[in-house]
Amino acid sequence: MLIVGKACLILALGTCLYGIAASLYGARSSRREWVASGRRAVYALAGTAGLAFVILQAAFLRSDFSFALVASHSSTTTPAFYRATAVWSSQEGSLLLWLLLLSLWSSLILFLTRRRLREIAPYATAVLLGFGAFFVSLLVFLETPFAQALPAPAEGVGLNPLLRHPSMMIHPPMLYSGYTLFAVPFAFAVGALVTRRLDADWIRSTRPFTLAAWFFLGVGVILGARWSYSELGWGGYWAWDPVENASLMPWLTGTAFLHSVMIQERRGMLKVWNVSLVLATGVLAILGTFLVRSGILDSIHAFGASTLGVPFLVLIVAMIAGSIALVASRAAELRSEHRLDSLLSREAVFLLNNLVLVGLCFVIFWGTFFPLISEAVTGQEASVGPPWFDQYTVPLALALVLLSGIGPVIAWRRATAANLRRNLLKPAAAGVLVLVVLAALGLGSEPGALLMFGLAAFVLAALGQELWRGVRARRAMSGGGVPSALVALVRRNRRRYGGYLVHAGVAVLFVGVAASSSFQDEREVLLSPGESARVGAYDITYVRPTADLRAASNGRLERIDFGAVLDVRRDGEPATTMRTVKSYFPSAAPLAGPVSRFFDGEATSEVGLQAGWRRDVWTAIAPDTAALLPRVREGDRVFGEADLAPAARDALLGQALAGLVRSYASDPPPATFRLIVSPMVTWIWIGALIAFAGGLIALWPAPRGTPSRVSATYAARVGRDVRTPAQV
Amino acid sequence: MDPSRKRKVRFVVALGVAVLLAGALVYTSFSASSEARTPSQLLTAAAPGEVYRLTGKVEPGYTRRGTTTYFRVRDRAGQGSVPVTYEGTLPDPFREGREVIVSVRRRGDAFVGERGSLITKCPSKFTEQKT
Amino acid sequence: MDLVVILVVLTAIVLLVCAPLRRRGAWALEEDAERAQLEAARDAKYREIRDAELDHRTGKLSDADWRAQDRALRAEAVDVLRRLDAAGFGQGSDPSPQ
């Protein structure tokens, strides 16, 4: 099967090259059969990539250790779910997944648009197949997933315990879907530039994929933050790490594009800006993929394989150079048709919002690449930390939230100033009220957070007012109760109200972020059983230790768990219990002692988390294993000297470890606890969910309308067409 | 002022603001950044009070007293090593022989690590972890 | 066995990819693109008209402002419809979905 896998990849490469040639030939000679053939090459790519992926997946599930990749990333003791997802825990497997997702999404989109965008589609196909060819070449020539392990080992190394978390396994496919989906608007933008057709049709067809890409990438980013918070022994959800930043940047420019494209749709303006945003988003998506793998920046995520650095760099430079050349040479077609009617319009607010988003992206870009920039400028590598990022992103985030409240309340084209003032009054009052109340309650010590709370209140009030007025208008037009009017209103104006919901979600998310970062109480304490510590308004007591041996699914010993049971008490509230554990996995090193290997391998924390509506209590334990060292060394010595049959040896080892574990439980040394009380963290996840629900509503396709009848009077036809349900 | 002139003025103002902000950004990034140093570089020249980003391997034999860890960081390929005092929990992958990145400040002969700045790099393709 | 699988995959690819090549015919790409562009512009204009009306009903536009905008937008829509008809694309063409 290894041979079949390798062959699939080689066939995939051939298919890509053929498809590029066929599409370009078909486009130049206007022959639709060659264009169709090129499109089918994308389907064929999806098929071969899928087959290669299935072969690899099957090998992982079967624990076929003749596959070198399976031997180095999985083991018989790994649970089935994690064996399946271990495929993309490796460099090679993740590249194959990227290729698969690229080909699947490309196939879907080219299939859905096969009767449209006929001038642009061939070039877009060629670009997408170009990406495909790049990734297949990496897989064929540099990082093959189908290397053979000679001889095939009896047991694999196993999956890194840090990756054993459901959201960690969904995070890469979501993220890669986001990245690969952003390749599609990039490809269609290139096609549009080549054919000089950057018009309403291009917008209409590109927007849904950009929205889908925005959705998936956003989900990927949030899942990563959630994993960091609830799985790592650190207690934070965002560290301004280069790889985190790399996934956020294309999302920011994508968000900017989704807004500014509406301006182009209405006024024929900002064509250069929009096409540049789409191209930049594609470049940033590839850059994000590159950063994780190249090891050029010190990051907690870097996979460290630097052989891929140069090819990716070449691709990125080619993309940037090509984009600039294309935009420059199409300057005539990219001239604006109109100007802004008025600064007091939704278009102007969108323009400002774009500047803020691109500004945010620039700040993050600068900070992320600063080590390389400073080395180039001063010869000395230097880096900036989270405080520097916060200094700039916080004011920009505040501006963004403010704009997201004004946007929904202002009219398109030219708003009536008096009406705008009147409409902003109540929401502004709500914002100021919240500010004053919270300041009175003593939260004024954190002005940034306070301002964010006030702005969020403003936004939510503005959106509520919009919704209420819309429902009222709908009922005035066609009667009905409030719920049915609401449903009808949203159904007929999906983009608008979906967008409003996204803004509401983002406001809630920022409230959570502001509260949890500004009003957090954190302590690291050394506690013995019975002792307690005070964190924020909580008294946390270390009640008793826990110590267990855990077996894997096949009965073999998988890990040792040392943990604690904690009592959490707050004035006036009933006491609750929290548990936290640190798991010690044995090292696979051949020279490790039979007992001490458990403390030489990987360790993971199982965080104790009590999530609540108002605050989270978070804890992680670092047991003092040094105190056990004498007994561990004794165990190593005893086993080294004993001469036993394997079965007896295993049994004795089990008993010895059980004894070790019991001794920890009965006479525990003091353990270090990291205790954090964070307000409103849950609202971050809730805000994200609300935003994604809004995205889904905006994405949802409109129902097909009934055809309008022929009418001689254009005006009458416009009147009639505007009423039909399809015009959503 | 006629409309096109108004537009030009707006554009120039906006551009000016952008340039000013970018300038502020660039300036503060250079002044707020911490330089990357290897242990040997730190031994030769480390101004007290300055924060440096130390990268290197953890030497075998580190000790913990209470919540403080005392460990030495050695050059990736060399002999220079510096002692580091770090307050707080260690990241899960922290091991002897692993590469770490930690922001340190000189205090006398020892270097004190900034809280929460210790990042441990895993030896192979696995993800790494930060405190 | 492996070789058989590889040959099957290769054959499948070739068949899939060559199937359209048997049907020939040049293609009015230009005309299609023109029509799609005008239809998209028309749909966008309709959306603008509806948005303006909703803006008016939710109190963002005064009566006077709305009437002026509505008039302008409808005139622009009529213009697009005229261009559609002039290019021969379309009496009674049904409004395409999003």
Stretch A696-725: mean pLDDT: 66
| Model pLDDT, residue A497 | 93
State how many domains chain A has.
3
Which of A159, A192, A222 terminates a domain? The answer is A159
| Model pLDDT, residue A334 | 86
- C46 touching A, CB under 8 A? yes
CATH number, domain of B87, equals 2.40.50.140
DSSP string, A578-609: EEEEEEEPPP--TTS-TTGGGGTS-EEEE-EE
Instruction: State the Cα–Cα distance between residues A97 and A170, nearest whole angstrom.
Output: 12
Q: What are phi and psi of B36, to 5 degrees?
A: -85, 135
More confident residue, B71 or A298: B71
Same domain, B53 and B113: yes
| Model pLDDT, residue C28 | 57
First to last CA, chain A: 51
More confident residue, A97 or A339: A97
| Model pLDDT, residue C92 | 46
Residue A550 has pLDDT above 80, yes or no: yes
| Model pLDDT, residue A395 | 95
What residues pair up with A215 in beta bridges, in sequence order?
A: none
Cβ of A422 within 8 Å of Cβ of C21? The answer is no
What residues pair up with A617 in beta bridges, in sequence order?
A: A610, A677
Residue C80: inside a domain: yes
Residue A2: inside a domain: yes
A118 pLDDT band, cuts 50/70/90, is confident
Contacts of A195 in chain C (CB under 8 A): 33
What are the tens digits of pLDDT across the range A247-264?
Answer: 999 999 999 999 999 999
Stretch A552-567: mean pLDDT: 82
| Range(s) of the domain holding residue B29 | 1-33
A100 pLDDT band, cuts 50/70/90, is very high
Cβ of A388 within 8 Å of Cβ of B53? The answer is no
Instruction: State the Cα–Cα distance between residues A432 and A426, nearest whole angstrom.
Output: 10
Residue C84 identity (one-letter amino acid)? L
> Is residue A246 a contact partner of residue A368, using CB atoms and an 8 Å limit?
yes
Least-confidence region, from A75-79, A86-90, A670-674, B86-90: A75-79
- Average pLDDT value over all residues in chain A: 87
The full 3-state SS of A641-682, as one line of letters, equals HCCCCHHHHHHHHHHHHHHHHHHHHHCCCCEEEEEEEEECCH
Which of A104, A131, A159 terminates a domain? The answer is A159
Instruction: State the Cα–Cα distance between residues A658 and A278, nearest whole angstrom.
Output: 60
What are the tens digits of pLDDT across the range A21-65?
Answer: 999 999 998 888 899 999 999 999 999 999 999 999 999 998 888
Which of A159, A179, A204 terminates a domain? The answer is A159
Helix axis angle, A646-666 relative to A629-641, nearest 10°? 170
> Is residue A188 a contact partner of residue A125, using CB atoms and an 8 Å limit?
no
Taking the C-alpha atoms of A526, A527, A532 and A536 in order, what is their torsion angle to the nearest 10 degrees?
Answer: 30
- C24 touching A, CB under 8 A? yes
Same domain, A586 and A699: no
Residue C3: inside a domain: no
Shortest Cα distance from C93 to chain A (angstroms)? 7
| Model pLDDT, residue A727 | 42
Stretch A710-727: mean pLDDT: 64
Same domain, B49 and B23: no
Stretch A266-285: mean pLDDT: 92
More confident residue, A300 or A20: A20
| Model pLDDT, residue B129 | 34
Given the DSSP bridges, would you call strands B81-87 and B110-113 parallel, antiparallel or unpaired?
parallel
Residue A438: inside a domain: yes
Q: Is B100 helix (H, G, I), strand (E, B) or coil?
A: strand
- Please report the ipTM that was assigned to this predicted complex: 0.88
- C80 touching A, CB under 8 A? no
Same domain, B78 and B123: yes
CA separation (Å) from A158 to A48, A54, A79, A602? 28, 20, 10, 11
Q: Is B120 helix (H, G, I), strand (E, B) or coil?
A: strand
State how many domains chain B has.
2
> Is residue B120 a contact partner of residue A299, using CB atoms and an 8 Å limit?
no
| Model pLDDT, residue A247 | 92
| Model pLDDT, residue A641 | 72
Nearest residue in A to B26, CA atom: A366
Q: What share of chain A has pLDDT > 70, as a percent?
A: 94
Please list the ranges in chain B whose pLDDT falls under 70.
1, 122-131
Cβ of A714 within 8 Å of Cβ of C81? The answer is yes
Same domain, A666 and A712: no
CA neighbor of A500 nearest in space, from A515, A511, A513, A486: A486
Residue A301 has pLDDT above 60, yes or no: no
DSSP 8-class letter at B95: -
Cβ of A234 within 8 Å of Cβ of B131? The answer is yes
Same domain, B28 and B58: no
Least-confidence region, from A88-97, A470-479, A700-709: A700-709
Cβ of A493 within 8 Å of Cβ of C54? The answer is yes
The overall longest dimension of chain B from CA atoms, in Å, is 76
CA separation (Å) from A448 to A240, A682, A706? 19, 20, 52
Cβ of C44 within 8 Å of Cβ of A466? The answer is no
Tell me, yes or no, whether chains B and C touch by having 3 or more C-beta pairs under 8 A: no
Sheet holding A538-551, edge to edge: A532-535, A538-551, A557-570, A576-584, A603-606
A509 pLDDT band, cuts 50/70/90, is very high
Where do runs of H (alpha helix) occur along chain B? 3-32, 39-44
> Is residue B107 a contact partner of residue B64, using CB atoms and an 8 Å limit?
no
Residue A304 has pLDDT above 60, yes or no: no
Max mean pLDDT among A446-460, A554-568, B13-27 falls in A446-460
Same domain, B46 and B57: yes
Same domain, B59 and B99: yes
Contacts of B63 in chain A (CB under 8 A): 626
Residue A674: inside a domain: yes
CA neighbor of A138 nearest in space, from A15, A311, A20, A11: A311
Instruction: State the Cα–Cα distance between residues A412 and B39, nearest whole angstrom.
Output: 60
Residue A445: inside a domain: yes
Same domain, B23 and B55: no
Q: What are phi and psi of B99, to 5 degrees?
A: -80, 135
What are the tens digits of pLDDT across the range A650-679?
Answer: 777 788 888 888 888 888 888 999 999 999
What are the tens digits of pLDDT across the range A124-175?
Answer: 999 999 999 999 999 999 889 998 888 888 888 777 776 776 766 778 888 8
CA neighbor of A411 nearest in space, from A396, A401, A402, A421: A421
CA separation (Å) from B11 to A234, A272, A303, A316, A419? 46, 16, 44, 31, 27
Residue C97 has pLDDT above 60, yes or no: no
Helix axis angle, A166-195 relative to A271-294, nearest 10°? 140
Stretch A455-465: mean pLDDT: 96
Residue C73: inside a domain: yes
What are the tens digits of pLDDT across the range A357-404?
Answer: 999 999 999 999 998 888 888 888 888 989 999 999 999 999 999 999
Task: Report the alpha-carbon angle A540-A526-A558, nearest 5.
Answer: 90
What are the tens digits of pLDDT across the range A588-638?
Answer: 777 777 788 888 878 888 899 999 899 999 999 988 887 888 888 877 777
DSSP string, A255-318: HHHHHHHHHHHHHS--HHHHHHHHHHHHHHHHHHHHHHHH--S--SS----GGGHHHHHHHHHH
Same domain, B114 and B99: yes
Contacts of A413 in chain C (CB under 8 A): 52, 69
- C4 touching A, CB under 8 A? no
| Range(s) of the domain holding residue A42 | 1-159
- C97 touching A, CB under 8 A? yes
Residue A675: partners with Cβ closer than 8 Å, 6 or more residues away: A522, A523, A524, A525, A533, A535, A540, A617, A618, A619
Residue A325: partners with Cβ closer than 8 Å, 6 or more residues away: none
C96 pLDDT band, cuts 50/70/90, is very low
Same domain, B18 and B43: no
A187 pLDDT band, cuts 50/70/90, is very high
Contacts of B122 in chain A (CB under 8 A): 160
Shortest Cα distance from A130 to chain B (angstroms)? 27
More confident residue, A233 or A244: A244
A728 pLDDT band, cuts 50/70/90, is very low
Tell me, yes or no, whether chains A and B touch by having 3 or more C-beta pairs under 8 A: yes
Same domain, B75 and B23: no
* Contacting partners of chain A (3+ CB pairs under 8 A): B, C
| Model pLDDT, residue C25 | 60
What residues pair up with A621 in beta bridges, in sequence order?
A: A673
Nearest residue in B to A373, CA atom: B30
> Is residue A293 a contact partner of residue B125, using CB atoms and an 8 Å limit?
no
| Range(s) of the domain holding residue C77 | 29-86
CA neighbor of A16 nearest in space, from A187, A139, A132: A132
Long-range contacts of A65-68 (CB under 8 A, 24+ apart): A65/A149, A65/A152, A65/A153, A65/A154, A65/A155, A65/A156, A66/A2, A66/A148, A66/A149, A66/A152, A67/A2, A67/A145, A67/A146, A67/A147, A67/A148, A67/A149, A68/A147, A68/A148, A68/A149
Residue A351: inside a domain: no
What are the tens digits of pLDDT across the range A396-428?
Answer: 999 999 999 999 999 888 888 888 899 999 999
Same domain, B8 and B55: no
Beta-carbon pairs below 8 A across chains A and B: 124
Least-confidence region, from A139-143, A196-200, A513-517: A196-200
Stretch C81-86: mean pLDDT: 88
Stretch A467-494: mean pLDDT: 89
The CB density around residue B27, as the number of other CB atoms within 10 Å, is 10
Stretch A283-301: mean pLDDT: 77
Shortest Cα distance from A104 to chain B (angstroms)? 26
Stretch A172-191: mean pLDDT: 90
| Model pLDDT, residue B11 | 82
Q: Name the residue among B33, B87, B89 with its Cβ closest to that of A622.
A: B89
Cβ of B95 within 8 Å of Cβ of A339? The answer is no
Q: What share of chain B has pLDDT > 90, as a percent?
A: 12
Same domain, A643 and A717: no
Residue A627: partners with Cβ closer than 8 Å, 6 or more residues away: A669
Q: What is the enclosing helix (H) or strand (E) of A566?
A: strand A557-570
Instruction: State the Cα–Cα distance between residues A177 and C70, nearest whole angstrom.
Output: 41
In which residue are the tokens 């707006």 written?
Answer: B10
Residue A316: partners with Cβ closer than 8 Å, 6 or more residues away: A283, A286, A287, A290
State how many domains chain C has.
1
Instruction: State the Cα–Cα distance between residues A534 and A339, nearest whole angstrom.
Output: 61
Name the pTM for this structure: 0.90
Residue A82 identity (one-letter amino acid)? Y
A20 burial level (CB within 10 Å; 0-12, 13-18, 19+): buried
CA neighbor of A242 nearest in space, from A201, A197, A274, A288: A288
| Model pLDDT, residue A694 | 95
